[in-house]
Amino acid sequence: MSNHHFYEPKDGPAGIPGLDHDPLNSIVAPRPIGWISTLSEDGTRNLAPYSFFNLFNYRPPIIGFASMGWKDSAANIAATGEFVWNLVTRDLADVMNRSAATVGPEVDEFALAGIATLPSRLVKPPRVAASPVAFECRHTQTLRLETREGRALDQWMILGEVVGIHIAPELIAEGAYKTTAAHPILRGGGPGDYFEIREDSLFKMQRPG
C-alpha cells in the first residue's frame, strides 16, 4: 500500500503534516515565464510576466499564457490582436520582477522598470531590447477556463500564433539553437523561487524508434 500523502485540492492540503502551503505550483515546476509586451488602443506600452505559459503547437507555432483576472495584457490583446513574448534570462531577472508591479493601465512598465525596447517587424508592440529571443505573435484564441461543473473562472487562456522570431546570433552553434547559452530562468513554487537552465544540468535521451 502506498504511503504517499493524499489530499483533494478543493479542501486544501491542511490535513498533510508539515505542509502549510498549497504545493501545486511547486510540483508543476519549473515553468517557462511568459514575459508579454502589448500596446493598449491608445498606445500605452505594457510589459508583464506570467508563470502559466508554454508552447502548444509546432507548425504553426502557437504559444499561450493564462491570466488570473482580466489584466492589462489580456485587455490589450483583445483590443489589438497582437503581443510579443520575450525570453527572460538570468541577467534580466531583476528587471522582469520589477515589471510585475501591480500598477494601473496608464503606467508604462518599460519606463517603470527602466527597460529599453526595440521595434518589432510585423506587430506593433515593442520587444525587450536586452532579451536574446523574442516572438512576435498575433492573437488566435482566448478561452475562459471552467471548473468540471462548468462554472466560469476569472482565469483566461490567451493563445497566439508566432509570426516572427528574433534570435541573438550567439545562441546558435553547430547548426542548432543552444538552450543553455541564453541562461534562461524558469518559475518555481512559493512566493519567489526561480531556476536557471545551465549546461551542468543537461542530459540527453533519444526517442524510441
Q: Which amino acid is at 69?
A: G
pLDDT at 1: 66
Q: Which domain CATH number covers 98? A: 2.30.110.10
**Nearest residue to 197 via CA among 174, 181, 176:** 181
Q: Is 161 exposed, middle or buried (0-12, 13-18, 19+ CB in 10 A)?
A: middle
Residue 156 domain-assigned (yes or no): yes
Exposure b/e, 118-154, CB count within 10 A at least 16 = b:
eebeebebbbbeebbbbbbbbbeebeeeeeeeeeeee
pLDDT at 131: 98
Q: What is each CA distance from 15 to 7, 9, 18, 22, in whole angstroms?
A: 7, 11, 9, 11
Residue 206 domain-assigned (yes or no): no
pTM, two decimals, is 0.94
Residue 21 domain-assigned (yes or no): no
Q: Is 103 exposed, middle or buried (0-12, 13-18, 19+ CB in 10 A)?
A: middle
**Nearest residue to 142 via CA among 74, 84, 83:** 74
Residue 26 domain-assigned (yes or no): no
Domains in the chain: how many in total? 1
Mean pLDDT by 10 residues, the chain (209 residues): 83 82 87 97 97 97 97 98 98 97 95 97 98 98 98 98 98 96 94 93 91
Domain interval for residue 116: 32-194
Residue 182 domain-assigned (yes or no): yes
pLDDT at 162: 98
